[in-house]
Amino acid sequence: MQIYNAPLRDMRFVLNELHQDDGFGNLPAYADITPDLTEAVLEEAARLCQNVLLPLNRSGDEEGCHFEAGKVTTPKGFVEAYRQFVEGGWNALVTPPEWGGQGLPEAVGKLVEEMICATNVSFSLYPGLTNGAIAALTVYANDALKQAYLPKMVSGQWTGSMCLTEAHCGTDLGMLRTKAEPVGDGSFKLSGAKIFISAGEHDLTENIIHLVLARLPDAPKGVKGISLFLVPKFLPDAAGNPATANGVTCAAIEHKMGIKASATCQMLFDGAVGWLVGEPNRGLEAMFTMMNAERVGVGIQGLGIGEAAYQSAVWYAKDRVQGRALSGVKRPDLAADPIIMHPDVRRMLMTMRAYNEGCRALSGWVARALDAEKHGGDAETRERAADLVALMTPVVKALFTDLGLESASLAVQTYGGHGFIRESGVEQYMRDARIAMIYEGTNGIQALDLIGRKMPAFMGRYLRSFFHPVSNFIEANAGESPIAPMVAGLKRAFETLQGATSVIAQRALKDPEEAGAAASDFLRLIGLVALAYCFAKSAKIAAQRLAEGTAEAAFYTAKIQTATFFYDRLLPQTVACFFAIKSGKGSTMAMDEAAF
């Protein structure tokens, strides 16, 4: 059974208590955003997600999208749900006020995203792609394109898509073949085919604005010859309304293992009219603005699914009775005890809970950095925030989606045989979660980005944006305190991370395959240390609140208990990561290709 109640208390903890010492707060741009306002936003978002989106999650998965004669129809209820979504202003929540957006902080927006993804990740992709396109156009489009397209995309009247992948090139975009021929009036005609295009065609809006990577006639080979173009499904008339069908068609939709209510399209461009976004041959730079926004968003998908899977598993573990507790009968009024009494079931539930709370805490820090990167009061704050965002974007994308799938799998295991049956609802979480580890750059690519680009950048400056806060926290909280064991554990894990960083840096200078072989383990290692840092901070605050005699003792006690479980049972993974990194590439690369 799919169960979800937005974890609003924990969200408020992350938003209002946890990261107040990070130097990214008190931004003038958000001076009018009061706690009462954010509380109202989160509560209203929870109602929308629980009452409108969640009921469509399973039915949308069962029905899927329909394709006929180039047209895509979304499952029953999606058009009405999208109407309610945009009328409530949710599409415009964090977008720029100058284009009709509400301009709320990302720190709030990411919490709302989590609720949307927890209740209906397929639905989340339609507005999610639109907001990624808005981010790219806001930075790189000329004023004419912004005036023509951003207001309707911000309002949700029009949606967006990103068209990168072609059948012969996924990650290696330097191989793409889609062409853009100049017409002479400032526009271009694009021809080519794209695959795996989320929200490329649907019936939710009257127009879809595609951001398309293509090559100009004189473009150099490789990624240095890629340009970005805005290509609408319908060309607007003088009044700005969709009028003329452009040369953009959907040839088919994919039949997928998950996110079945999201239209994943094969798109054809046959002399489609488009306009250049940004500078010629620098399209990848512009598209990465959209992709990086999407990568953080995909990480939130993993968190959302993990939370929904956890809540569903808790409901079942309390309801299902099997066997007697090892310590003696707990419910003599029943034929057997609820399975939540069994230690191994507790292990699974606590693992899911710890991963969700840890990821929510880390995403809250990154979201604050996203806000400070744009609106920080001084250059030093903006640079430090940008460095943390750059470093943590691949971590959020890969770690959160890895853990989201793990939580979904644990939910299925908690249900046992019933979890393997579609009617339980939890097997959908496992199917939906799997794609998040693949799109927007596979998790292996995220690890290579972390270790190949982010780690050595500016002589390690990105790393310092994370290492310094952790080091300062350890130093400030050494000695006797309620969280002394956690600080000691964090210190050991941090030293392990520093050691791994040194090993990789030395070996990679001689052999880049050494870095490649270590990449995924390093990403998991830095991610676990980041979660440990957030948990130690959480436990410190919780201990302080309990010492003050808070009326919410149950919440803060549970926070310490969850943090303790993470340190006892999950953080030791860092040692295994370090051993794997130190083993080098030898056994990974030794086998001859023909032997596989």
| Residues assigned a catalytic role | 440
What is the DSSP-derived secondary structure letter of residue 173? G
Strands (E), 135-233: 159-163, 179-182, 187-198, 208-214, 227-232
Instruction: Please report, in angstroms and rounded to a whole number, the separation of the first and last CA atoms in the chain.
Output: 42
Q: Closest by alpha carbon to 452, among 504, 500, 395?
A: 504
Q: Closest by alpha carbon to 176, among 226, 224, 124?
A: 226
Number of C-beta neighbours around residue 134 at 10 A: 27
> In the chain, what's the furthest Cα-to-Cα distance?
83
Residue 155 exposure: Cα atoms within 13 Å on the Cβ side: 12
Please check whether residue 295 is in contact with residue 209, taking contact to mean a CB–CB distance below 8 angstroms: no
CA distance 260 to 300: 19
- Helix (H, G, I), strand (E, B), or coil: what is residue 1? coil
How many angstroms separate the Cα of 243 from the Cα of each of 69, 141, 200, 206, 246?
20, 22, 19, 10, 9
The amino acid sitting at 154 is V
* Sign of the four-CA dihedral 147, 86, 389, 477: positive
Torsion of CA 42, 43, 44, 46, to 10 degrees: 80
Tokens of 322: 């099997």
Number of C-beta neighbours around residue 346 at 10 A: 14
Please check whether residue 7 is in contact with residue 363, taking contact to mean a CB–CB distance below 8 angstroms: no
CA distance 502 to 522: 11
Torsion of CA 409, 412, 416, 418, to 10 degrees: -150
- Where b means 16+ CB within 10 Å and e means fewer, 380-389 reads ebbbbbbbbb
Give percent helix, percent strand, percent coil of the chain, each to the nearest 5.
Answer: 60, 10, 25
Strand 208-214 to 187-198 pairing: unpaired
- Listing DSSP states for 309-374 in one string gives HHHHHHHHHHH-B-S--TTS-S-TTSSS-BGGGSHHHHHHHHHHHHHHHHHHHHHHHHHHHHHHHH
* Sign of the four-CA dihedral 461, 440, 109, 525: negative
The phi, psi pair for 207, rounded to 5°, reads -150, 150
Please check whether residue 402 is in contact with residue 443, taking contact to mean a CB–CB distance below 8 angstroms: yes
Tokens of 74: 């979304």
